[in-house]
């Protein structure tokens, strides 16, 4: 029992990992813990639109654990170019450490979920990535492009990075976002 308690208190640190977006109406940045909660519910809501048949419960668990490595590495803006191999290695070391706090069967199961998400090969991982990529876009669309403007991210860069994973995991969601993003461009909601 003490191992589980040590693990869950270690996870508490994800509440301190801030992302680059402000929840609409709030004067603070989003943290990775509340983000993980929200995308789990987005996956549940979007499940009928997944690009392939998925085990939704595995998707939900994957999304709940996918950011835990950021406890050691912090969040990196998805649009940053380069440095991803080093970053992934650091995240992998972090989750090995953190899931290693649990009794081996539970720890190994969560590590396998994290790896499945990371490798982005299964239908579940692809759907999970689509959901994870789409959520900050939906928040930016509700927030007049706040994190795109703050961080100088252009329309072209957003589309180049998010269109492939969202189209692969949830085509209907991409069809919806495509026209919303075009409208946002006309509003001037992107950075240079």
Of residues 61 and 133, the one with the C-beta less far from a copy of itself: 61
Could you say whether residue 24 binds a copy of itself (CB under 8 A)? yes
Q: Specify the residue, 171 or 191, whose C-beta has the smaller distance to a copy of itself.
A: 171
Distance separating alpha carbons of residues 22 and 24, to the nearest angstrom: 6
Contact region with a copy of itself (CB under 8 A), list: 89-97, 117-125, 137-145, 153-161: 137-145
For residues 135 and 19, give the distance between their C-alpha atoms in angstroms, rounded to a whole number: 12
Q: Which stretch binds a copy of itself (CB under 8 A): 25-33, 71-79, 87-95, 160-168?
A: 25-33
- Judged by CB under 8 A, which of 18, 19, 20, 49 binds a copy of itself? 49
Shortest spacing between CB 2 and a copy of itself, in angstroms: 8
Q: Contact with a copy of itself (CB under 8 A): which of 31, 140, 147, 167?
A: 31
Interface stretch with a copy of itself, choices 2-10, 69-77, 81-89, 145-153 (CB under 8 A): 2-10
Asked if 44 interacts with a copy of itself (CB under 8 A), we say: yes
Report in angstroms how near the CB of residue 59 gets to a copy of itself at its nearest: 11
Distance CA 169, CA 149 (A): 27
């Amino acid at each position: 029992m003490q191992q589980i308690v040590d693990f869950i208190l270690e996870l508490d640190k994800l509440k301190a990992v801030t992302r680059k977006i402000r929840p609409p109406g709030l004067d603070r940045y989003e943290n990775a813990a509340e983000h993980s909660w929200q995308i789990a519910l987005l996956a549940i809501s979007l499940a009928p639109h997944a690009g392939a048949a998925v085990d939704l419960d595995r998707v939900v668990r994957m999304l709940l654990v996918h950011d835990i490595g950021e406890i050691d590495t912090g969040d990196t803006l998805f649009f940053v170019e380069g440095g991803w191999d080093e970053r992934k290695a650091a995240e992998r070391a972090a989750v090995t450490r953190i899931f290693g706090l649990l009794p081996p069967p539970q720890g190994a199961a969560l590590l396998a979920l994290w790896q499945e998400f990371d490798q982005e090969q299964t239908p579940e991982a692809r759907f999970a990535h689509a959901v994870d990529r789409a959520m900050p876009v939906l928040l930016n669309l509700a927030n007049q492009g706040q994190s795109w403007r703050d961080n100088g991210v252009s329309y072209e860069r957003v589309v180049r990075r998010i269109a492939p994973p969202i189209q692969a995991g949830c085509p209907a969601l991409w069809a919806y976002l495509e026209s919303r993003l075009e409208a946002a461009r006309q509003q001037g909601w992107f950075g240079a």
